[in-house]
Amino acid sequence: MRFSDAVDDFVQTCRSAQTRAAYRSDLRQFLKWLSGRSGAGADSITKFTKDNVVAYLDELRGRSRADSTRHRKLACFRQFGKWAVDERLLTSDPVASVKGIPRRRRLPRPFSLDEANRIMALPLNSTENALRSVLFFAGLRATPAGSLKVKQIHPDRLTYIAKGGHERSVPLFPGLKDILWDYLASHTDMKGETFIFRNSYGRPFSRRKVEQLTKAWGQAAGVPHCIPHRFRHSFGTELLKAEGSNLRQVQEAMGHADISSTAIYTQVVQTDLAKTIAKLPFGQGHNNPPRGSQ
């Protein structure tokens, strides 16, 4: 079977449009590399071998591609390999034994209190105000936030389609609940299947649209690097700081499949704590605590 045909069939099995686009891109780039290496015979699924995959990943490393990029591509190849075996296009998965690529996790970068206050103080129209509140107080990624439907807003919870196509829910922050209900009350044409954030054609806000809006808010508020994920980082960090919270609760609210993704937020909280301690009066140029504190 032609490799390109197998790629087209495989990506149709992905539930998320974003995943389909990413996997198609990764596999086509691999096929292009194969063409340069093997010539006319590259477009055959038999070329999907362990040796070729390892050589490709090694070449990417030689081009100084980030470990996260190589990790993502290997994850794609693993899914493709499993699918090809299930479809009996291959007798065995050639990448099953390929050594994993360690990923350096970047620390979340939440907004400072001053930055958050400046963004929240911006006078926005009702649609952008509702979107801003969803990003800040529900911690949704750009795509799930932009594609929220009326039926996903409940009296006490907000449900959404998370990364990987799984449905998740998060309790409604009281302030967010008021904003969303007021917004829906002022848009009486919105029904269950209606997208809350929609363009003139009734289609949901794309990830790109959400990114454009947050960038504009950042420019207006004087906050650099104002991207949707920083709202999510702020949500997770503040949840972890809240009295009585624990990692499991934050994991559930963030929709993380792996608690290690949640645990990285503890490093941000510890960094904030260290900065706070450094600002204590007896920490400024003194080695000893004040008398009576021992």
163 plus 68 within the same structural domain: no
Half-sphere exposure of 235 (CA within 13 A, CB side): 27
Contact between 268 and 237 (Cβ < 8 Å): yes
Residue percentage of the chain with pLDDT more than 90: 44
Comparing 44 with 242, the larger pLDDT belongs to 44
Q: What is the pLDDT of residue 271?
A: 56
Q: What is the pLDDT of residues 223-234, one digit of tens each?
A: 999 999 889 888
Q: Same structural domain for residues 176 and 37? A: no
Domain count, the chain: 2
- Both 80 and 121 in one domain: the answer is no
Cβ-based neighbour number of residue 193 at 10 Å? 8
pLDDT recorded at residue 279: 46
Asked if 267 and 204 sit in the same domain, the reply is yes
Same domain for 176 and 61, yes or no, is: no
Hey, what are 269's tokens?
Answer: 């909280």
For residues 37 and 75, membership in a common domain is answered with yes
Same-domain check for residues 79 and 123: no
Q: How far apart are CA 231 and CA 142, in angstroms?
A: 10
pLDDT of the residue at 294: 44
> Which pLDDT score is estimated for 221?
96
- Helix 3-11 to helix 67-86 angle (10° resolution) is 90
Give the closest residue to 76 by CA, choosing from 39, 139, 116, 21: 21
Work out the average pLDDT over 147-173. Answer: 84
User: Cα separation of 273 and 279, whole Å?
Assistant: 10
Residue 290: inside a domain: no
Structure tokens at 205: 């806000």
- 134 and 235 both lie in a single domain: yes
Identify the residue with better confidence: 259 or 21. 21
Q: Which amino acid is present at 159?
A: T
Q: Is residue 79 part of a domain?
A: yes
- Domain hosting residue 32, numbered range: 3-86
**Shared-domain flag, residues 134 and 246:** yes
Looking up tokens 């509140």 gives 133
By C-alpha distance, which of 158, 153, 164 is closest to 140?
158
Residue 171 per-residue DSSP state: E
Least confident range of 87-96, 175-184, 249-258, 268-277: 268-277
What pLDDT is attached to residue 132?
95
Residues 156 and 197 in one domain: yes
CATH number, domain of 147, equals 1.10.443.10
Encoding tokens for residue 255? Answer: 């929709």
- Looking at 68, 86, 104, the residue that finishes a domain is 86
Q: For residue 137, give every residue at least 6 positions away whose Cβ sits within 8 Å of its Cβ, in sequence order, or none.
A: 173, 175, 176, 235
The verdict on residue 288 lying in a domain is no
Higher-scoring residue by pLDDT: 277, 122: 122
DSSP 8-state class, residue 135:
H
Residues 65 and 139 placed together within one structural domain of the fold: no
77 found inside a domain:
yes
Question: Is 294 domain-assigned?
Answer: no
Closest to 206 (Cα-Cα) out of 198, 196, 217: 198
Residue 107 forms part of a structural domain: no
CA torsion sign for 229, 232, 234, 236 is negative
Asked whether the predicted pLDDT for residue 81 surpasses 90, the reply is yes
CB 232 within 8 A of CB 139: yes
Inside any domain, residue 96: no
Both 130 and 236 in one domain: the answer is yes
> Is a pLDDT exceeding 50 seen at residue 251?
yes
Please give the average per-residue pLDDT across 189-214, as a whole number: 92
Please name which of 41, 70, 75 lies closest in space to residue 55, comparing C-alpha atoms.
Answer: 70
8-state DSSP, 198 = B
**Mean pLDDT computed over every residue of the chain:** 82
Q: Is residue 212 part of a domain?
A: yes
List C-alpha distances in Å: 140 to 52, 110, 187, 218, 270.
Answer: 38, 14, 22, 18, 24
pLDDT in tens, 18-57: 888 899 999 999 999 998 877 666 789 999 999 999 999 9
Asked if residue 174 has pLDDT above 70, the reply is: yes
Residue 286: the pLDDT is: 41
Backbone angles phi, psi at 37, to 5 degrees: -95, -40
